[in-house]
Amino acid sequence: MKTISGISVFPGVVIGTALLFLEDNPEIPRYSIAEAGVERELARFVEAARDAAGELRRLKESAHGISREQEDIFGAHLLMIEDPDFHYQIKARLESKYENIEWIVREVSRELSQKLVMSPNAYLRERAADVSDVSRRIINRLLGQKEFSLAELSQDVILVAHSLLPSDVLAMDRSRVKALAMDTGSGTSHTAILLRSFGIPAVVGLSNATREISGGGVLVVDSEEGKLIIDPDTETIQNYRDAVERNRKLPGKLRSLKNLPAETPDGRRVVLNANLDMPEEAGGTSFYGAEGIGLFRSEFLFMTPGRSAEENQLQAYGSVLKAMGGKPVTIRTVDIGGDKAVPGFQDRGEANPLLGWRAIRLSLSLPEMFKTQLRAILRSSPEGTVKILFPFISCVEELEDALRLLEEAKTECRKKGQGFSDHIEAGAMIEIPSAVMTADILAEKSDFFSIGTNDLIQYALAVDRGNEKVNYLARPTHPAVLRFLKQSIDAAHNRGIKAAMCGELAGDPSVTPLLLGLGLDEFSMAAASIPSVKHIVRRVRFSDCQALAEEALACTTYRQTDGLLREWAKAHINER
C-alpha cells in the first residue's frame, strides 16, 4: 500500500478500479516543402482548424445544461482556434520555414505554451493547457488520427492520467468516471473547474501517480484529505467503505437542513453565506440555504470593455439584491491585478504582480473608476441590503482613503438626486499579514472584517498556490495561519464588529469545528458547500469547539494540527 498526497479539487471518497489514461503524443513528421506547396499546406491547416472548431461546437451542443463556466471554456477554445493572430503566426512561420504544416502548428503552439508556463501570472500559466488542447485537436486532424475515446467506457473506473485536457473531461462518460487522479494540475485550471462543476471527486498535483499505478489495480481517492491510496490493504478498504456508506446517506440529511438555522446544540448561532461570481447565480443560492451573499466578486464587470460603465454595474448589483429578497449582499470592490488578468490593466510589466498594483491599490490610484463603482453600489442599495468590502487592505491609510472616496461618491449621488440607503456597512478584507498585525487599528475604521484565507495563507507562508512544486506547503492548519485567524477574529470582537471568512477554508467541513472554536461569526463559501458545513455546525457543541481551538493553537506543526482534527472528528462527529 502506498499513499500519495496532492490537491483536492472536489471532495469525496471513492474506491474503485484504475484506468490508466496515458495518451501517447502522436509522432509528428518533419520535412521540407517547396515554396509552391505553401498554399496547399495552409489550406490543410484552415480545414483542420475548421473541423476542430466544428467538433467543439457539437460537443457544446451535446453537453446539455452546462454552466456559464463551462460555456466560457468552450468559448475560450473556439476563440483560440479561430484567433486571427494564431492563424497569422502559423502562416508567417510556414512562409519563412517551408516545413510541413503539422510541424509548424506544433512549433508555434509549443512556443506559445512555453511563454505562458513562464508567466508570473498563475491564470496565464494555467492557460498553457488550453493551448495544448487546441493544438492537439488540430494536429490529430492533420494526421488523420482517431483519439482514444473516454466517452466509450464499459465499466466504472477511477481515471488516472498524467494530465487531462478540458476537452477530455467534456467528452468522457461522466457516469463511468467515478473519480480522477492526475499527476499535474492545480485547483485553478480549466480541467479543475470542469471537474468541480460535474461533481467528480478528484485529486491533482500528484507528481508521479501514473508511474506507481498499473491499470486494473484497486485505488482509493480520498479527495476530502487530498490523498490517493494505491493497492490499499483490507483494513484500509473497510474503513473507506464505511466512509463511502456515510457519504451515501448524507445528501438526504443535508437537504432536510435547508430551512434550519446554523446553530450548535448549545446555542452558538453563525451565519452561512454564499460566494457569488455572476449575477445569474444569485437566485440558486437559496436552494442550498444561503442566508445571504458574503462575497460578490465584481471582477466580471471589468473583463469586457464597456461592461464596467456605471449603469451596467448598477443593473448587475441591483439584480443580485432583488434576487436575494432583502438578504444581505456583500459586494467586494474590484479585485483585479495579481493573478487575475484583465485586459487593459496587466500591461505594466510588473516583475511581481502578486505583490504589485492590484485590488485596492489599483482602485485608489484610479479614483474616478473607483468612485464609479462606489456610486453604482450606493445607487443599487434601495433594492435590498448591501455591504461594501475593500480587498487587499495592507494599512489603515488605504482603508481611510477608500472610506474618503466612498463619502465623495455619496456626495456626488446627492448632488444628482440619486438615492441610496442611509447606512451601508463598509468592511476590510484581512488577507495580508500586515492587516492581521494591525487588525486592532483597522477595526476602529471598519464595520466588519472578512478574512480572505486564499491570499492570507499564500502571503503568510510565502507559497505561490499556483505553483505545483510548492503548493503542498499552503497548509491552512499551519500554526502561523491559525494564530493569524485568532488574532483577526479577536480584534474584531474587541471592537464589537463581526468577523466573517470568504476564502476556500470557510467551505471545508473538516475545519468547521476549529473555525467555530476560534469565534468566527460568518462563513461564506460556494453555495453547494453550505449544507455540509451546516451539518457539522448542528452536530458539535460550541464549548467543545472552543476547547479544540485552544488545543490547535498549542500545536507546533500542521501535521500535529491535522492529526488533532481527525481524532477530534472521530470522537465528536463520526461516532454519533
Directed axis angle between helix 234-256 and helix 530-537, to 10°?
Answer: 100
State residue 569's pLDDT score: 93
**What is d(CA 219, CA 157) in angstroms, rounded to the nearest whole number?**
10
How would you write 482-500 as a 3-class SS string? HHHHHHHHHHHHHHCCEEE
State residue 283's pLDDT score: 80
In a domain, 249, yes or no: no
Check: CB of residue 500 under 8 Å from CB of residue 274. no
Check: CB of residue 139 under 8 Å from CB of residue 106. yes
**Do 351 and 384 sit in the same domain of this protein?**
yes
Lowest-pLDDT range, 6-10, 35-39, 466-470, 560-564?
466-470
**Do 321 and 405 sit in the same domain of this protein?**
yes
**Do 120 and 184 sit in the same domain of this protein?**
no
pLDDT digits (tens, 9 = 90+) for 163-181: 787 777 877 888 899 999 9
Q: Residues 554-567: what's their mean pLDDT? A: 95
Cβ within 8 Å of residue 499, ≥6 positions away: 448, 449, 451, 488, 489, 492, 493, 519, 520, 521, 522
pLDDT digits (tens, 9 = 90+) for 227-281: 899 988 888 888 888 777 766 665 566 667 888 999 999 999 999 999 887 787 7
State residue 465's pLDDT score: 67
Nearest to 25 by CA among 158, 150, 165: 165
**Do 220 and 316 sit in the same domain of this protein?**
no
Structural domain for 546, as ranges:
265-574
Check: CB of residue 409 under 8 Å from CB of residue 416. no
State residue 250's pLDDT score: 59
Distances from the Cα of 402 to the Cαs of 226, 232, 299, in angstroms?
A: 39, 55, 18
Confidence of residue 426 (pLDDT cuts 50, 70, 90): very high
Q: Which residue has the higher pLDDT, 345 or 158?
A: 158
- Is the predicted pLDDT of residue 374 greater than 80, yes or no? yes
* DSSP secondary structure, 491-552, as one string: HHHHHT-EEEE-SGGGG-GGGHHHHHHHT--EEEE-GGGHHHHHHHHTTS-HHHHHHHHHHH
- Is the predicted pLDDT of residue 26 greater than 80, yes or no? no
Residue written as cell 490529430? 140
Burial class (CB in 10 A: 0-12, 13-18, 19+), 576: exposed
Lowest-pLDDT range, 28-32, 40-44, 224-228?
224-228
Main-chain dihedrals φ then ψ at residue 123, nearest 5 degrees: -60, -45
Residue written as cell 446539455? 64
Q: Residues 517-532: what's their mean pLDDT? A: 90
State residue 164's pLDDT score: 81
Nearest to 222 by CA among 159, 180, 175, 161: 180
**Do 184 and 108 sit in the same domain of this protein?**
no
DSSP strand E in 369-425: where?
385-390
In a domain, 67, yes or no: yes
**Do 9 and 67 sit in the same domain of this protein?**
no
Q: C-alpha cell of 117?
A: 508556463
Which of 14-28, 62-76, 244-258 reaches the highest mean pLDDT?
Answer: 14-28
pTM comes to 0.64
State residue 69's pLDDT score: 58
State residue 309's pLDDT score: 86
State residue 64's pLDDT score: 53
**Do 67 and 13 sit in the same domain of this protein?**
no
In degrees, rounded to 5, the angle at the alpha carbon of residue 525 between the alpha carbons of residues 524 and 526 is 145
In a domain, 59, yes or no: yes
**Do 119 and 158 sit in the same domain of this protein?**
no
**What is d(CA 476, CA 503) in angstroms, rounded to the nearest whole number?**
11
Count of domains forming the chain: 3
CATH code for position 63: 1.10.274.10
- Is the predicted pLDDT of residue 517 greater than 60, yes or no? yes
CATH code for position 436: 3.20.20.60
- Is the predicted pLDDT of residue 420 greater than 90, yes or no? yes
In a domain, 258, yes or no: no
In a domain, 245, yes or no: no
**Do 79 and 215 sit in the same domain of this protein?**
no
Q: Which residue has the higher pLDDT, 519 or 214?
A: 519
- The amino acid at residue 282 is A
State residue 183's pLDDT score: 85
For the chain, what percent of residues have pLDDT higher than 90?
44
State residue 142's pLDDT score: 85
State residue 80's pLDDT score: 81
Catalytic residues: 190, 502
- The continuous run of DSSP H or E covering 13 comes out as strand 13-21
Lowest-pLDDT range, 3-12, 398-407, 453-462?
3-12
State residue 494's pLDDT score: 98
CATH code for position 194: 3.50.30.10
Which of 23-32, 96-105, 551-560 reaches the highest mean pLDDT?
Answer: 551-560
pLDDT digits (tens, 9 = 90+) for 455-509: 999 999 998 866 767 877 889 999 999 999 999 999 999 999 999 999 889 988 9
Lowest-pLDDT range, 117-126, 134-143, 313-322?
117-126
Main-chain dihedrals φ then ψ at residue 302, nearest 5 degrees: -105, 0
- Is the predicted pLDDT of residue 32 greater than 80, yes or no? yes
